[in-house]
Amino acid sequence: MDSSVSQVVVDCDDQFSRSFQSVEATHSVHKKSSWHKLLASIGAHEIFSIETWKAAFTELVATASLIITLTTSIIACLESHEVDPKLLIPIAVFIIAFLFLIVTIPLSGGHMSPVFTFIAALKGVVTLTRALIYVIAQCIGSIIGFIMLKCVMDPKLEDKYSLGGCLIGDDHNGLGSKPQVALLLEFSCTFLVLFIGITLGFDKRRSKELGLPMVCVVIAGGMALAVFVSITVTGQPGYAGVGLNPARCLGPALLRGGSLWNGHWVFWVGPFLACITYYGVSINLPKDSLPLEDGEYDVLNSALGHNRSAVSNDLQV
């Protein structure tokens, strides 16, 4: 009797142990599955992809080159003998942006700015992992570009234009406005660029119809327009326009410090708020064009058609 009871107890213990191990194994598999799903959703596998690092290296080199070219060109415009260089700077921005975009878009996507990388991540064009790698590469590229620029720039020009950095405040080189005003300017102009350029650039069908050169023209045109608007509305002499690129503002701030850190957060918060706002707008934009044929609801034709119908009815009566 005792041996039978003991055997039953042992069998129960074995069943309980197996059940516990089964539940534990299922829970472990579920945890591993959830973890793998999370890693897959953020694109963690791209860390081990050589193509990701090649693209990031392209972003680094392109950002450094863009910084040098853009900064020297803008300073040259401001130092020209033109009384008002408001048209020269947007033209320079357009030409430089177009050339860099048409070269780098097929290679890495042509971001060269944390703004475009952030909106690309929000739209699902790139993974969060690739976006993080891109932003780090862009910031490093900005620092390298401004280090090279600092080595060759005239010290007087470097001091006058703060190495081409982004300034806010009452300084003679700065925007001469409150951070709140600069934040609104960064937000508005960045949103303008996104609405004009990214709406087209991320539309595969329309991009294919227009071709890469025309897409680059539209994006570069949006950037030039934003710079022109920012220069015009502020009316500040020596102001080179809206930042549009937090990485571009980071380089000089790290190298020169001082007043360049005043309101530096504006050049990050403003564009990123614009990205979030644009994302909310973009998901509510119509997917297809208006399904109306030309003249289908023309006012004059509709009126004439109505009159003809009325006359026809009268004749029948």
Percent of the chain with pLDDT over 70: 75
Sequence spans of domains, the chain: 43-282
| Per-residue confidence (pLDDT) for residue 133, from 0 to 100 | 96
As a whole number of angstroms, the distance between CA 236 and CA 170 comes to: 11
Q: Which of 175, 122, 164 is nearest to 253 (CA)?
A: 164
Q: What pLDDT score does 31 carry?
A: 61
First to last CA, the chain: 110
CA-wise closest residue to 134 among 67, 196, 58: 58
Q: Which pLDDT score, from 0 to 100, does residue 311 have? A: 47
* pLDDT at position 308: 53
> Which structure tokens are listed for 167?
């300034």
- pLDDT tens-place string over residues 38-92: 888 888 899 999 999 999 999 999 999 999 999 999 999 888 877 677 788 899 9
Q: What is the pLDDT of residue 35?
A: 79
User: If we measure between CA atoms, which residue out of 155, 129, 121 comes closest to residue 49?
Assistant: 129
Q: Which residues contact 312 (CB under 8 A, 6 or more apart)?
A: none
- In this predicted structure, what is the pLDDT of residue 246? 93
Task: Give me the DSSP letters along 70-121.
Answer: HHHHHHHHHTSS-S-TTTHHHHHHHHHHHHHHHHHHHHH-S--SHHHHHHHH
Looking up tokens 């570069």 gives: 220
pLDDT at 53: 96
Listed as ranges, residues in the chain with pLDDT below 50 are: 5, 8-10, 20, 23, 171-172, 176, 311
**Does CATH place domain 43-282 in 1.20.1080.10?**
yes
Please answer whether residues 47 and 129 qualify as being in contact, where contact means their C-beta atoms are separated by less than 8 angstroms: yes
